[in-house]
A and B are shown apart, each in its own frame.
Chain A
Amino acid sequence: MEGLITKQLLLDFFDEKATSLQRKLVEEWLEAPENEELFYSYLDEWERKNPQFFPDRENAQQKYSALLRGEVEPQQPPETEDEDTGLARTYFPYKMLWLVSASVALVMAFFFRSELIYKEYTAPPGQTNAFYLEDGSHVVLNANSVLRVPRFFFEKGRREVWLDGEAEFQVKHTENNARFSVLMGNEYEIEVLGTEFTAYSRARGKRVFLKMGKVKLNLPAGEQIYMKPGSYFSADSLGTYEVSTPQQPEAITAWKEQAFFFDNTQLSEIAEQIYERFQIKIVIKEKALANRKIGGTFQARNADELLETLSELLEMKITQKTDYIELSTLK
């Protein structure tokens, strides 16, 4: 039985997103020893991306180094009772004494870092993903985006999520006035009370468009901006930003309907958008072609659909190369 086992499929399997048919393929694939190696390689990568908690590596490493140098002897620790089961905690024979005494200190030291990153919502390239958070807030994730929500999202006074990509939020106002924060990396943070907005955090920069409600935007170096409904904040990767009131907000939210909205948009910019949403690299052969402008709304579920439509308008040729697509003018 032929099958295409990709890294993504394994990652999906780890995320419990694989179908039973896919699991069957993985099972068969695993029969080859070199594939088992790959399995653990991908597993390691997945663990790196989805840490469940933050152990104190430096501390543990120091103790291990001491052991390696022969400075510490493994010894049986005093028996401690597990509060729960009343059973002795010493299940493991070579328990390190220092582990027992150090663990108390570690727990204290990591009180604030003890947040477990609980759930990760993703939208793969080319698809959006809509869902509700525990507090009733509604999120639509754009393609190729990730939203991380800590385990105790709803319990604390603040609701914090991390965004890598693009999403639209409809934040529910909670009774205890818990502020909702979207952290976008590089010290950008959106704080809201109850409101509707879209946030964009990708390599090209950070953008926020406020539809309804009130938003305070925290910028790097302690700067703060208060936004009004209808305003649009846009920063490039260097941190230069501007706030404007766009006349056509459709451009900003077209992605929700699997569409693209262009208004005098250069083909080069379109190529960037395609990369952001579909992870497909586009190279435009002629500069003149790259500068051609397009206007209109285009429905497209994948890059090919969009490019086909555009190729008719612009009379351009689409060539699939090894790992990118080349656009050139038809002679």
Chain B
Amino acid sequence: MTSTTRLHHTPKEDTSGVDRTFISDQKIITITTDDERLVRETFSLDPREGCALLFSRYYENLCSHAIRFVHSKEIAEDIVSELFTFFWQNRVFEQVTSSYRAYLYKAVRHRAYNHLKWQMHCTDSLDSVTTPLMSLTVSPDEAMQYTELHQKVEHIIQQLPPQCRRAYLLKRVEGKKYDEIALELRISAKAVEALVSRALAKLRKELKENWFLCIQLIMLFGY
């Protein structure tokens, strides 16, 4: 039984320029995307410029993506900056076979996930994530699972009682101090602390129950 999924797009839509110059019986496929052609050329001339170009193109989007997992602006920015540092220092650009975009997103998700796990004190998971290997093996489900994970996180936060949610967001995402939040919400600092603890406990509990990534993660990435 052959199963085919056709990619349907209206002609006026940009198809992202995926270069489909692979032949069906060819085993190894190098996926290159046309919209990164300029970046690739830049890399061949000067990898520094290539890295800088990638940074300017993807930094903000990657930060935005990271914060969906880690719920802290500071940490999201850290994660992305460190990823780019790692990318340069280990000359990852020489080994990437997918688009840079795909690599960067996968790496950010991986690191953000790590951090989330650490925060939730989830220790009963695979620690294979720390192996410094450049991986070419990709689990196809993974792309969806990461997305479902941050959606789950968002859900849990949305379910919190309003005041609890506000306190949590101000503390974790905005990075404000307890005193500042207490002023803004017009409650005591102790009350804020209690609310934030409650939110974190809820997150911990609900994520642990649904920690599907612990079992299914087979992707290895250098960190």
A residues sitting closer than 8 Å to B (CB atoms) are 1-7, 13-14, 16, 23, 25-44, 47-48, 50-55, 57, 60-61, 63-65, 67-69, 74, 83-85, 91-92, 94-96, 99, 103, 106-107, 114, 116, 151-152, 155, 322-323
**A37 partner, pick from B51, B98, B119, beta carbons under 8 A:** B98
Is B151 on the interface with A (CB-CB < 8 A)?
Answer: yes
In the complex the two chains form, is A4's CB within 8 Å of B144's CB?
no
Given contacts A37-B99, A40-B99, A64 and B84 within 8 Å (CB-CB): yes
In this complex, what residue of A is CB-closest to B154? Answer: A16
User: CA–CA, A32 to B143, complex, Å?
Assistant: 12
- 0 or 1 for each of B76-103: is its CB under 8 Å from A? (1 = yes): 1111111011101100000000110110
**B101 partner, pick from A29, A41, A57, A152, beta carbons under 8 A:** A41
Given contacts A1-B3, A38-B16, A323 and B11 within 8 Å (CB-CB): yes
In the complex the two chains form, is B6's CB within 8 Å of A2's CB?
yes
B residues sitting closer than 8 Å to A (CB atoms) are 3-13, 16, 18, 20, 22, 29, 31, 33, 35, 48, 51-52, 55-56, 58-65, 67-68, 73-74, 76-82, 84-86, 88-89, 98-99, 101-102, 105-106, 115, 118-119, 138, 140-141, 143-144, 147, 151, 166, 169, 171-175, 177-178, 184, 196, 200
Given contacts A52-B67, A322-B11, A96 and B173 within 8 Å (CB-CB): no
Which 8 pairs across A and B sit closest by C-beta, in order of nearness?
A: A47-B61, A41-B16, A40-B102, A52-B64, A323-B11, A4-B8, A55-B63, A68-B48
Give the residues in chain A near B140, CB-CB below 8 Å: 27, 30-31, 36
In the complex the two chains form, is A91's CB within 8 Å of B118's CB?
yes
Distance of A287 from chain B, by nearest CB (Å): 25
User: CA–CA, A3 to B151, complex, Å?
Assistant: 24
User: CA–CA, A7 to B78, complex, Å?
Assistant: 31
Distance of B156 from chain A, by nearest CB (Å): 13
Looking at chain B's contact residues, the main secondary structure is: helix
Give the residues in chain A near B11, CB-CB below 8 Å: 322-323
Give the residues in chain A near B86, CB-CB below 8 Å: 94
User: CA–CA, A51 to B118, complex, Å?
Assistant: 25
In this complex, what residue of B is CB-closest to A111? Answer: B174
In this complex, what residue of A is CB-closest to B138? Answer: A36
Distance of B22 from chain A, by nearest CB (Å): 8
Give the residues in chain B near A2, CB-CB below 8 Å: 3-6
Give the residues in chain B near A31, CB-CB below 8 Å: 140
In the complex the two chains form, is A61's CB within 8 Å of B85's CB?
no
User: CA–CA, A295 to B59, complex, Å?
Assistant: 53
**A38 partner, pick from B18, B84, B169, beta carbons under 8 A:** B18
User: CA–CA, A44 to B65, complex, Å?
Assistant: 9
Given contacts A44-B58, A53-B73, A27 and B144 within 8 Å (CB-CB): yes
In this complex, what residue of A is CB-closest to B68? Answer: A52
User: CA–CA, A26 to B143, complex, Å?
Assistant: 10
Given contacts A2-B5, A95-B78, A155-B166, A323 and B29 within 8 Å (CB-CB): no
Given contacts A13-B147, A322-B11, A96 and B85 within 8 Å (CB-CB): yes
In the complex the two chains form, is B20's CB within 8 Å of A34's CB?
yes
In the complex the two chains form, is B55's CB within 8 Å of A64's CB?
yes
User: CA–CA, A55 to B173, complex, Å?
Assistant: 12
In the complex the two chains form, is A55's CB within 8 Å of B85's CB?
no
**B173 partner, pick from A34, A36, A94, A116, beta carbons under 8 A:** A116
In the complex the two chains form, is A44's CB within 8 Å of B115's CB?
no
In this complex, what residue of A is CB-closest to B173? Answer: A116
**B8 partner, pick from A5, A43, A57, A151, beta carbons under 8 A:** A5
In the complex the two chains form, is A30's CB within 8 Å of B59's CB?
no
Distance of A22 from chain B, by nearest CB (Å): 11
Given contacts A28-B5, A69-B48, A74-B85, A57 and B60 within 8 Å (CB-CB): yes
In the complex the two chains form, is A83's CB within 8 Å of B7's CB?
no
Give the residues in chain B near A16, CB-CB below 8 Å: 151
In the complex the two chains form, is A7's CB within 8 Å of B52's CB?
no
User: CA–CA, A165 to B144, complex, Å?
Assistant: 31
In the complex the two chains form, is A103's CB within 8 Å of B141's CB?
no
**A33 partner, pick from B29, B85, B172, B200, beta carbons under 8 A:** B29
Give the residues in chain B near A42, CB-CB below 8 Å: 16
Give the residues in chain A near B16, CB-CB below 8 Å: 37-38, 41-42
Q: Could you list some 12 contacts between A and B, CB below 8 A?
A: A2-B3, A30-B140, A34-B31, A35-B7, A36-B138, A37-B98, A48-B61, A52-B65, A52-B67, A68-B48, A96-B85, A107-B175
Distance of A83 from chain B, by nearest CB (Å): 7
